[in-house]
Structure 1
Amino acid sequence: MKIYNITDALYPKRIKVIIILFIAVTYIGCKKDKHADLNEEIVSPTTGTRTEFTLDSIFLYAKQIYLWNDALPDYSGFAPRAKYGTVEPGFSAFKNELFDISQIKLNHATGKPFEMPYYNNTPKYSYLQLGRTSGGIHAGIADGEAVLAKSTKALLNCSFMIFIHLN
């Protein structure tokens, strides 16, 4: 083992090289990719009716925030406009879409959906509510129990809920 003497002529040069290498590696390692946001693709059409946009929004919000979003296909694979665009009235189309989204992820232990319905075409946790969201009492199913709450904060343990305000 070689012991360097502080007065050695090469010692200060080696320290400088080590410091320069450390700074270079730190700079390169911490550099952010500025082009990450440029690769986002447009996943839904930019034209359509209010019902079609709402169908798109339900799916795209589910794709982002739904508890079991890992099982959801991409937009073109699910095709909400093609499946539910002709269902009348529009709110029935929204409910049907949400029900189908909720039935995609299966529990491997039981082979049944995690949101196995209690009632016909009613997901266990997810629901849509028609009307205003400010004030009043909100109802929903949370943890398998019917819940009435003064605010939506009490319903936060629901896996997915959307409030739709239609004029």
Structure 2
Amino acid sequence: MTFRAADAADVPAIVDLVQSAYRGDSSRAGWTTEADLLDGQRTDPAMVAAAITEPGSTVLLALDDAGAIVASAQLEQRDGYAYFGMFAVDPGRQRGGFGARLLGEAERFAREEWDAAEVRMTVIVQREDLIAWYERHGYARTGEISPFPYGDERFGVPRRPDLAFETLVKKVENA
């Protein structure tokens, strides 16, 4: 597996990857599906293009030995930390270690390229299996809850009224 930063030519493939990992029947091939929680889109070309081109933001890609994109994640440089989001692994390749390796690369990038002391993310609180996966990779629950953006269909159409996000954090600063 190799890693690289995404560029504008990667936008369609990233949108397809993220959508397939979280929404619709194709997402059910993996374990990260949100199909029981949300309908609609997970991202769109404009959101991905902005994540690639805006200052202080990058999208990291994991490529298999044939050069195909198998995972992606966005990092945003914030005050003293990096925000990790839009993380997706091809549903047919989940449980193969691609996600863990890309998460590690994102942490390395945040620490070494941006001198970030920690990585933060938000996860839908109803995703206990996903939160547990992040905990196994060193992330801690903060108890900091933020509301789901109901009414903003850019992030999906909720299938239930009680969705919210919890912030998870991991220290990654150099020793």
Normalised to the residue count of structure 1, the TM-score between the two structures is 0.29
Q: Give the number of the structure whose residues are more often strand, by fraction.
A: 2
Normalised to the residue count of structure 2, the TM-score between the two structures is 0.28
Rg bigger for which structure? 1
Higher relative contact order (CA 8 A, sep 6+): 2
